[in-house]
Structure 1
Amino acid sequence: MESARSVFISKPYSIALSLSVVLKLATTIAFSILLIFTLLSVPVTQAYLSPEHEPKEILFTSEMQINLVVVGDEWSEEDEQGISSRLLKSYKPMILNENTPIGVEYKYNYTFVSAPEFFATQLYTFMKTVAIDVEMPEPVARWVVSEHPEFGDVQQIAYRIINAPEVEEFLSRSWPMEDEYTIFFFLPHEDELNYLHTYGMLTTDPDTDAEFLQEGMMGFGGSYRFYFIDLTAGPWTYPPMSLFCEDAENPLCDQVNHVKNKNIHDISSAEEIYDVMSEYVNNAVTLLFTPSYVYSPFYRINHELSIFLIDFTAERALVNTDQYINSELIDEAFSNLIPYAEWTSNVISLNFDDLPEDLQETFLNSIEFRSIEGSEIIIVKSDELIDGLDKWALGELTEEELNELRMEAETRIFIPVFIFIFDSEAYVDEYGLGGIAASSPVDPSIPCCTIIASNKNDVLFTGQGLSVLTIHETAHVLGLAHPHDGYRSDTGEFVDWFYDWSYTPLTYSAPTANGCGLDELCGMIIPDFGRFNFDAIDRGLALSLLNEAQLNVYDAVLLLDDLGYDSPDLPSEIISALNSIESDVQGARQHFNSMNYFNYITFRDTSNLMNPMDDAFDFALRAFETSEQLLRDVKSLESTITKPTPQLDISVTIKQTEKLTLISVQNNDELPLFGVKLNLEDGLIKFVKTRGWDRDRIDQNTVIVSTDDRPITAGKSLKIILISDNPNGSLEWSVLSKAGNELGKGVS
């Protein structure tokens, strides 16, 4: 390891960072890694809840209209029956990292539409005006030679690239679009498009102004609520087999496009065309229209993105970060994405030599050198990095500072982004992975941060900056998935690379990722989000707010039960709040059915006055806010009622080591325990930690650890680590209910 470290340490350690920068780094890490899991954890249904109080896994079902439009042909009755029988009729999007539903079940209604002949003529005539003649690329030429030699000499066959965004804009302005999703299938006659073709586009990197060509696409969409698929285009191999199929057992080998996505020239029967087209539809519906999520989306108005660009290059060459990453661009992208949100991004460039020595050690311990095909690459191991940063941040911050962060966590989300730049080829966790939305060290279903690894050559010489990659990975932290990653009940998790051809920064079609499937720098760079992304995040956030609302309601009902209230005796303001929440849940459901998730056009146009109850998101937000007030009101009733303290069957054991006191609280009763209070009369408590629970210091002698959603249920126990200045002192303990009432106590 010492020889590896010498690659990075080029001069003696010296403190060059200001204390404010060190504090910023520590607080950002602590806020996200130590605290975000507490805020984002979704409480699980416990057995002690009566059935009518249990939170629902599926909040409601929602009808969705999907139009299947063929352009250049007509659907026959046999076509409709053959395809319909293969289509998904319902679907529950999932939270992939938890393998649980997001909270809605969609019921799909499909309408088959044959475009009028005049529209087909207009479209295909227009496409000729936005097509350019180019030399036939290798994937298409190889297909002609091996599968269709009757087409003639590849040197003589006409081949063109059609401008995909121009076709998308033509469809948007020429076809009547309603609040529903549409898939266009292009089936032009030979005299309408009498040349082989694929689709392409030119994009510009926002950091460097470098232009890149994306070619080889067989479909495109995402700026609006439709996607087009040209059944005469291609075919194209993407991603290239070499990226994934060196290992014959790799399941991705069966899912590359040249195997799954055929064009019309390779289809020999009606049954085969029904299979192909229904597969296109099913995957478009589950990947683009109603996608699953990496993590559960979570809503707060204030967001802060702290981007730490850490220079590991030998010459420490990355001095001017402005030319590699643009915080204003990132702010704009996410401000447009999240309703009403305020985003602040800041970039902090860190020279590795200037980092505190213990932080240098943390980074070095997370780096591994590997040899791939004779070349040395660097792997940043995310688990080791996050665990090390967790420990480092704990050592830098006082308990008071951590408590202040907990208070701020009620209204703000911090997302740290760690970008490592090396001289050598570098990845995160595995070869080929340039970045990840890493999960919390405490709960893998919860995101903590973005980790990116790159090399000096990519940053300085390819023309591809770091802004879009940062947007891509941070969007995963917010819950959005790749357009190629999804879940279906009939297949489980699956990959369909075809839908990487979409308008979204979440595509894998970036130039440095071999985005065209060619052995050259080719691909597309999309810096902002499209309509599919807006719909996905609006739905996800609305469902998250509704889920929080229902959990607040059930918490309130539990407290009311605990306080002895019956339904007829509830105060009028409590009944009014419960009715208001139910009404808003139904309002959100109605807007889901009309596919009015959030009026983002009005939101983004500040010249218009917003009607706050225009859409599903606003109804969900009001339901959540009302439920928060309901919970506060119910808690306030507690002070007006005196209840006898029940004595439960609780056992507490203590084990003393040289430095630590290990406490085990065993619940042998049916009533769940939500808190443990510890008091050391003849000593000072220095440190307390409990996995997954909050801690609140009352004074130097007293600490409470508690949870809102992970109580100690019957037969379960809780482990507590305590450090004090008097390990042999007398420790008083008491266990608490959800409302904070004492349920039992003792001395150990």
Structure 2
Amino acid sequence: MSTRTGRASAATLTAIAAALLMIVSLAPASQAAGSGFSHLNPGGAPNLTEKVPVNVVFLGYQPAQVDRDTYLAGLPSGYEPVVRSRLGYDQVEKLGLTYTYDYRVRYADKRYENRFFAELGRLATPAPLTVYQELYNEQRDAVTTITDNHHIDAASVERWLALNPPAGVDTRRNTIFFINWFGRSDFKFHVYTKTNEPDPDTGYNFGTERDSRKVSAWGGTTADDEENGYGVTRRVWFHDLSAGPESWTENWNVDEPDLDGNGVEDYRMPPTWEYTADGYRSPDALAGDLSLITRYVALNLLFTTSPLYPAELPTSRPPKSINIDSNVYEGWDGVDASATYLDKELLQQELAELRWRNVLDHDDQDLPFEGEARRCYLATMVDDESCYPELGYEPFANFYLQSTFELDRVLDDQGRVDYEMPVFSYAVPAGTPVPALGFAEDNYTDGTQSYVYAFVSPEIVSSGYGLTTTLIHEVGHHLGMSHPHDGYDSESGVDYGPADEFFFAWYGDQVNSMMSYIDLNWDFSQFDRDNSDRFLTAAYNEAANRLAGEVLDSRHAGRARGELRAADRLLGAAQRSLSRHDYRQALIQAEQAYDRVTEAARRAGVPTDSAAEAMATRAAQARSVVEDLGGPHEFIDTLGPDGPRSQP
């Protein structure tokens, strides 16, 4: 089964990012230095800071098992997000955001533990052993035998923890609960489940049908989630090594450290009972392992991430209105894929929750799967040949090039909206190979997002997928969101995916996020929303700075001073909102600051491109660069039939 793909390969980007550690990311020098503003930095970069609280609650772990100092020693002091797609083009582009972490670690007392584990026992429903628990039992090195199993609803546990935390723990702030039920007299072997969101196009329920979707961690549910919303905003992620073992991180396998045979251990955390003298891991490693999960999963991939693509879209100014321009190449005989496998209302609804400050709409058209579209598709997927050999690029570039030459045909809202997003879906006949469920393309030049692709076929539908959830996911990438299983470690400068020493990063997928591969929900998580709002706050700040520099360099800058001072005050308010972790208000204020600078530009006579002008030149600009493409162009975690999503 094909799966969603991302951007440049983890190994390649890791090496590139490490080499880039010596590169200093310099903000452009202000052309109006000494202009007297406190927060507006004309011509320069944003300087937004946040002290991020991180609550860590050990629930069923004692200090003798998880030493506090050992655990904290592995954690970073802070984080600076970068645009990950730029790393493959030898660019380190920082967002102008700086986080410092405020760790608050505690061990739950016996009374709280008793309450919580009694709740787990109440929620536990007897169930057959999963395929992966049975595989664990067959291992020659397994230290115990799993005799029975229970299903526990993951969302119910998240809700209980979020609304019933230990005294002094504020779950409105990022909170990790590390759970260990094993060793108590009331322990039950168990896995967590989520079964109330089947695929909207096919009705296939991954949560009930596949043991690979039985998990050991969960969190990130929003207040207004249609199925499991709290009604109030909480930021909780729990992780339970006494659950499972499970498929997603392959921690059922305690016989083979190197899963892919490349000579490097695929590092994963075994079940709690394997942390013993004769087990898979030494008990002394437990504190360090939980620290690894905190740093490389919870912090880097969930709480404070880096965007895959720039949060500012490729427009001359931040867009107020966005059109999802959906085009389906209809090549599946007898099936209208756009009508059968694309829920346009759900697509727009979910994306609007992420880009809530934009006026978002959607239009679609069916295109025949013939001519250049079919020729270039088959050249890529069947012949492995370039559709445009005169340009000298790899066959996979066919998708980008052919779409670029089609822009005039598909972009039909020029002048009506600020940004028109080209989306191309292919519905192909049975037996036709597909490259993935979908992918979000860059521009082959500097890592800027370009087009979105999705694929559907009889085989894909039989695997449970239509087009809707793939497009929500891929448009999420286009808008800047990364997977929760790959990301950037700011302290080391390493971009990584779930392989080798970071194999355990697959834990990040066990979250209520559309950007996951877990297929248990179709929403963006609270963490996604927080990070998107932060990214956009920085993007509006940067746009305001850039335009303010042009205003101050103009002949009539004096006419605009009042508006620039108002923008300065609004950016100060945005910084204060960010410091209070009110990300939505920070975004509103940064957007208002940009609007004041736009008015300043009008008063000073500084031209700003209209949406119509920007859209009218877009296709011509795209075509002008296809003969000069450059830079690496590979994929993060291109998963084949052995990937976690393909497992039963």
Q: 2:326 aligns with which of 281, 291, 307?
A: 307
Q: Could you say if the C-alpha distance between residues 188 and 119 of structure 1 is closer, same or farther in structure 2, counting changes exceeding 3 Å?
A: same
CA distance in 2, matches of 1:110, 1:46: 34
Q: TM-score, normalised by structure 1?
A: 0.64
Between Structure 1 and Structure 2, which shows a larger proportion of strand residues? 1
- CA spacing shift, 1:392–1:205, aligned 2, 3 Å: closer
**Residue 241 of structure 2 is aligned to residue 231 of structure 1:** yes
Matches for 1:245-264 after TM superposition, within 5 Å: 248-249=261-262, 254-255=265-266, 259-264=267-272
Measured in 2, the distance between the counterparts of 1:595 and 1:528 equals 22
- Out of 151, 154, 166, the position equivalent to 1:161 is 151
Q: Which has the higher contact order (CA 8 A, sep 6+)?
A: 2
Which amino acid letter does the alignment assign opposite residue 68 of structure 1? Answer: V
SS at match of 1:190: coil
How far apart are the structure 2 equivalents of 1:172 and 1:290?
Answer: 19
Matches within 5 A, 1:390-429: 390-393=404-407, 405=414, 407-408=415-416, 411-424=418-431, 426-428=433-435
Code of the aligned partner of 1:447: Q
Q: Answer whether contact 2:54 2:173 (CA < 8 A) is retained.
A: yes
Alignment counterpart, residue 593 of structure 2, candidates 623, 631, 634? 623
Residue 132 of structure 2 is aligned to residue 139 of structure 1: yes
Give the Cα separation in 1 of the matches to 2:259 and 2:289.
27
Cα gap change, 1:504/1:690 in structure 2, threshold over 3 Å: closer, same or farther? closer
Change (3 A) 1:439 1:413: same
Letter in 1 for 2:299: V
Post-superposition Cα deviations, 1:691-721, rounded to whole Å, max 9, x if no partner, equal 8999xxxxxxxxxxxxxxxxxxxxxxxxxxx
Distance 1:55 1:340 in 2: 25
Q: Report the CA distance between 1:220 and its aligned residue.
A: 0.9
- TM-superposed CA distance for 1:336, in Å, is 1.8
Q: CA deviation at 1:290?
A: 0.6
Provide the rounded CA distance (Å) in 1 between the counterparts of 2:241 and 2:47.
38
Aligned residue for 1:661?
none
Aligned residue type for 1:221: G
Specify the alignment match of 2:566 in structure 1.
580
In 2, distance between residues paired with 1:143 and 1:497? 19
Q: Which of 270, 293, 316 is the matching residue for 1:280? A: 293
Retained in 2: the 8 A contact 1:307–1:419? no
Residues 103 and 263 (structure 1 numbering): CA distance in 2 closer, same or farther, change over 3 Å? farther
Change (3 A) 1:132 1:335: same
Q: Distance in 2 between matches of 1:216 and 1:392?
A: 43
Q: CA deviation at 1:531?
A: 0.7
- Give runs of aligned pairs for residues 471-550 of structure 1, distance below 5 A: 471-488=472-489, 489-490=491-492, 492-495=494-497, 496-510=505-519, 524=520, 526-550=521-545
| Residue type of the alignment partner of 1:302 | S
The amino acid across from 2:581 in the alignment is M
Deviations 1:296-345 (A, max 9, x none): 112523221122222333xx121263331100111111122212322222
What is the Cα deviation at residue 126 of structure 1? 1.7
Q: Structure 1 residues 236, 425: closer, same or farther in 2, change over 3 A?
A: farther
In the other structure, the counterpart of 1:91 is 79
Structure 1 gaps, min length 5: 1-42, 372-379, 511-523, 599-614, 638-687, 695-748
Match in the other structure for 2:273: 265
Q: Which amino acid aligns with 1:205?
A: D
Q: Which residue of the partner structure matches residue 215 of structure 2?
A: 217
Deviation at 1:217, TM superposition (A): 1.4
1:585-638 C-alpha deviation (Å, 9 max, x unpaired): 22111111111101xxxxxxxxxxxxxxxx10111101111111222222269x
**CA distance in structure 1 between the partners assigned to 2:64 and 2:550 by the alignment:** 55
Alignment of 1:44-123 (within 5 A): 49=31, 55-57=43-45, 59-75=47-63, 79-99=67-87, 100-123=93-116
1:377 is aligned to: none
Aligned AA (1:182): T
Q: Secondary structure of 1:595's match?
A: coil
Provide the rounded CA distance (Å) in 2 between the counterparts of 1:65 and 1:227.
Answer: 14
In the TM superposition, what are the counterparts of 1:681-692 in structure 2 within 5 Å?
A: none
- Cα separation, partners in 2 of 1:297 and 1:452, compared to 1, 3 Å: same
SS at match of 1:97: helix
Q: 1:78 to 1:58 in 2, by over 3 A?
A: farther
Cα shift at 1:538? 1.0
Q: Choose which of 590, 593, 605 in structure 2 pairs with 1:635.
A: 605
Equivalent residue, structure 2, for 1:386 = 400
Measure how far apart 1:144 and its partner are: 3.9
- Letter of the 2:243 counterpart: A
Residues of 1 paired with 2:66 and 2:31: CA distance?
A: 52
Aligned residues: 530
Instruction: Give the CA deviation at 1:87.
Output: 0.9
User: Which amino acid in structure 2 is aligned with residue 413 of structure 1?
Assistant: E
Relative to structure 1, is the Cα distance of residues 159 and 393 closer, same or farther in structure 2, using a 3 angstrom cutoff? closer
CA offsets 1:75-98 (integer angstroms, 9 cap, x no match): 479822221222111111121011
Cα gap change, 1:285 to 1:382, in 2 (>3 Å):
same
Q: Please state if 1:195 is matched with 2:188.
A: yes
Residues 1:254 and 1:349: Cα distance change in structure 2 (over 3 Å) = farther
Does the aligned pair in 1 maintain the 2:52–2:101 contact within 8 Å? Answer: yes
Distance in 2 (CA, whole Å) between partners of 1:173 and 1:340 is 29
What is the CA deviation profile of residues 86-141 of structure 1, one whole-angstrom value per residue up to 9, with x for unaligned ones?
21111111210113222201000000123343332222122223223233234333
DSSP 3-state at the match of 1:109: strand
Is the counterpart of residue 589 in structure 1 residue 575 in structure 2?
yes
Q: CA 1:390–1:576 in 2, change beyond 3 Å: closer, same or farther?
A: same
How many Å separate the matches in 2 of 1:498 and 1:150? 23
**SS in structure 2 at match of 1:509:** coil
Give me the whole-angstrom Cα distance separating, in 1, the residues matched to 2:486 and 2:76: 17
CA spacing shift, 1:554–1:76, aligned 2, 3 Å = farther
1:200/1:216 contact within 8 Å kept: yes
The 3 A distance-change label for structure 1 pair 158 and 624 is: same
Normalised by the length of structure 2, the TM-score is 0.74
Amino acid of the structure 2 residue aligned with 1:543: A
Match for residue 728 of structure 1?
Answer: none
Change (3 A) 1:286 1:320: closer
CA offsets per residue over residues 247-294 of structure 1, 9 Å max, x none? 7559xx755xxx322332222456412211111111211100011111
| Cα deviation, residue 381, structure 1 | 5.3
Q: Is contact 1:199-1:217 (8 Å) kept?
A: yes
RMSD of the alignment, in Å?
3.6
Any conservation in 2 of the 1:75–1:112 contact (CA below 8 Å)? no
The equivalent residue for 2:11 is none
Q: Equivalents in 2 of 1:342, 1:267: separation in Å?
A: 52
- 1:294/1:481 contact within 8 Å kept: yes
Which of 326, 335, 341 in structure 1 is aligned with 2:358?
Answer: 341
1:365 Cα deviation (Å)?
Answer: 4.7
State the identity %: 18
C-alpha separation between the residues in 1 aligned to 2:125 and 2:623?
59
Q: Is the 8 A contact 2:178 2:238 kept in 1?
A: yes
Post-superposition shift, 1:45? 5.6
Q: Distance in 2 between matches of 1:45 and 1:150?
A: 55
Task: Indicate whether 1:439 and 2:437 are aligned.
Answer: no
SS in 2 for 1:307: strand
Partner SS for 2:86: coil
Amino acid at match of 2:348: D
AA in 2 matched with 1:465: G
The equivalences for 1:572-721 within 5 A come to 573-598=559-584, 615-635=585-605
